Chain A
Amino acid sequence: MLVRKEISLLIAVVCTVAGASSFAAENAPTVQELWEIVQQQQVELEALKAELEASRNQTQSIEVQSFENSQRLELVAEVIDQPNRMSGSSWADRTTIGGYGEMLYNDETSSSSSKELDVQRFVLFASHAFTDNLRFFSELEIEHSFISDDARAPGAVELEQAYLEWDYARNHSVLAGMHLVPMGIMNETHEPNTFYGAERNRTESRIIPSTYRVNGIKFAGQLGMGFSYDLDIHEGLFFESGNGSELAIRDSRQSGARAEMDNPAYTGRLRYTGIPGLELGVSMQVQPDMTQSGSTRSNIGRDGVIDVFGNPVDNLGGTLTEAHMIYQSGAWGLTALFAEWDIDSSIESVANNDLSNNGLGRDRQYGYYLEPSYQFNPKFGSFLRFERTNERAGSNLGDAHDSATSRTIAGVNYWLNDNAVLKLDYQFENDDKDRDLDGLNLGVGWQF
């Protein structure tokens, strides 16, 4: 029974396969149909090849474009990043505008009219480089905020610098015009953010009469091994008897205003900066005749110099000698300076217009200071300054009696950034007559 079932199944399968083969044979494509299929595929293949070729061309084009763009970018960047700014640069690139200034508060506790808030100076500078080795530099200053025809207005508008400088040999230059005398520390570098203390030190205000600016010609250069020199021929000081004149060095500056040139002065300086953090400097100024050959400058009503008998004084020569040291090592700093005038003794006979003598002790004047400092971090530093000055050290008679002044100042600077600073200090000042001028000084200063 089982065998019969299997045989029937086998027959059914065979019949099915045979039927299918017969159907396939009847529906197989003809040669003609196959040829048409091949032809169609060939067309599609050609289309794909064309597309591939176009794609390749496009890729090549993009690559070329990319390469060209990269080259263009390179050229543009080369122009923008021009390393030598001075060649082919614009007028604006070669012109610099900047400035500095300071506002100070003084509260001298021992004086009745001591509390004062003053924009002591506001300076704008402009410089222009004609070429890499020829440039112009100028500074225009307003002191004490404003000027007016009111005699009480303390202000002044002053040209502080205006000179043309030419590098006539490598590392050597010459300048002509109004410039700062190369002496001391503060006279050339006095932007408020560069020194400690609200007020400048007295030695470099009264003995070296900073800001000491003159008309003249100055040569400067480097000698190698860290040495540099300055040699300066410039207008001399000009003493006048005047009415109640103090015959102070500071008041004798001509500051380039129709300066008398009968007797020009000569200044020389040698500096050594061959060790990082160290500066040593010595300078000397020779003034052949500070009366400018007895000039009376009648054209603008100047008085000249007379003695107590009313006779004109001339041949009043003098020499200023200065030496200084600056040393900075890490956080510690030490600054020291000494300056001294040696003036012909005939200055002692100089009188005011009323024939009262005012030159006593003026033949020797000196000042010195020592200033250690410590900088806690780039923003905060502290200092102490010990200073002594005497503008009538040549005598101990009359006005020259006990004329020296000593002061100790302790204070801090806080730099808001490299170019802006806040200052606070307290001074203990005593003169040899036991008068006190203690006081608090605050300052805010900037440079840009």
Chain B
Amino acid sequence: MKKLKSSSIKSVLLLAAMACLPIVLASDDYIAPEEFLARVFAGNLPASDTVWITADKKEIVENILGHEPGYLRVRYWGDTQRSAWIVDEIGKTEPITIGVVVNSQEIEEVKVLAFRESRGWEIKHDFFTRQFSGAYMQDRQHLDRAIDGISGATLSVKAMTNVSRLVLYLAESVSPASS
């Protein structure tokens, strides 16, 4: 009985210590869409426009994502030279909100704005997303480079890679060269 009591007290103390962890530990953060856009455009938010997933684009978009897009168009801010895009894509079961900045048909930055999956949180950190910097699209909407994955988070990594390919494709479709 005495042992049981002691064990219970220890458990409660350990629980309390665990609950306090976030207060004493620093944590990485991620940002709201408005903050992301404000930072990308240094406070001068340009006009936004949308690219409709029309019949001619639909098949390519489906090939990139591996499924139907689930939206009619994608919004972007900026111009044909430099633009920022925000896209939702399912990882394993939950949507991941990803911001992508394209400059001269190359990825300038990829940022996770909201991550809801229980595994694969690593993809929201700079040590992972910096792999995409400077990536551009090669034949058949593939990136010019291999992206190293995260153990146990294959689907989250794939979601981010596919969103990057999608945005590069859509950015190219609105560029003067394509019209």
Contact = CB atoms under 8 A, between A and B. Distances in A.
Contacts of B148: 276-277, 328-330
A91 B76 CA distance: 29
Interface residues of B, number: 48
A293 B6 CA distance: 13
A102 interface: no
A281 to B, nearest CB: 9
Contact of A418 (B19, B73, B158): B158
Interface in B140-158: 146-152, 154-155, 158
Most buried by A among B4, B25, B73: B25
A159 interface: no
A80 B52 CA distance: 13
Given A217-B15, A264-B7, A274 B95 contact: no
A266 B19 contact: no
Interface string A189-218: 100001000000000000000000000010
Interface in B102-159: 114, 116, 118-119, 121-122, 125, 127-128, 131, 146-152, 154-155, 158
Nearest to B52: A77
A185 interface: yes
B152 A233 contact: no
Contact of B14 (A98, A174, A233, A328): A233
Interface in B3-25: 3-4, 7, 11, 14-15, 18-19, 21-22, 25
B159 to A, nearest CB: 11
Contacts of B22: 168-172, 221
B148 to A, nearest CB: 4
Given A189-B152, A276-B150, A330-B146, A86 B116 contact: yes
B18 A219 contact: yes
A172 B125 contact: no
A266 B151 CA distance: 25
A332 B94 CA distance: 29
Contact of B72 (A80, A96, A221, A328): A80
Measured as residues with beta carbon below 8 angstroms from the partner, the interface class of chain A is 35 or more
Given A222-B28, A228-B121, A262 B4 contact: yes
B27 interface: yes
B101 interface: no
A81 B118 contact: no
Nearest to B69: A81
A219 B21 contact: yes
Interface centre among A81, A169, A418 (most CB of B within 10 A): A81
Contacts, number: 124
Interface string A265-280: 0100000011111010
A231 interface: yes
A81 B14 contact: no
B93 to A, nearest CB: 4
A84 B113 CA distance: 11
Interface in A415-446: 418
Contacts of B166: none
B172 interface: no
Nearest to A281: B151
Interface in A219-238: 219, 221-226, 228-229, 231, 233
Nearest to A419: B155
A266 B14 contact: yes
Interface string A306-349: 00000000000000000000101110000000000000000000
A273 B116 contact: no
B27 A223 contact: yes
A172 B94 CA distance: 18
A229 B26 CA distance: 13
B111 to A, nearest CB: 15
Nearest to A276: B148
A379 interface: no
B56 interface: no
Contacts of A174: 18-19
A293 B151 contact: no
Point out which of B73, B121, B151 has the most chain A C-beta atoms below 10 A from its C-beta: B151
Nearest to B95: A85
Contacts of B125: 226, 274
Nearest to B154: A194
B14 A274 contact: no
Given A129-B116, A293-B3, A223 B25 contact: yes
A132 interface: yes
A356 interface: no
B21 A221 contact: yes
Given A84-B114, A277-B149, A330-B148, 11 more contacts: A83-B33, A84-B97, A174-B19, A185-B151, A188-B119, A189-B119, A221-B21, A222-B28, A231-B18, A277-B148, A418-B155
19 contacts: A80-B72, A84-B114, A129-B116, A132-B116, A169-B27, A170-B29, A171-B28, A188-B119, A188-B152, A189-B152, A217-B15, A223-B25, A223-B27, A224-B25, A228-B121, A231-B18, A274-B125, A276-B128, A276-B148
Q: Nearest 6 CB-CB pairs, A to B?
A: A277-B148, A276-B148, A169-B22, A189-B152, A172-B22, A96-B93
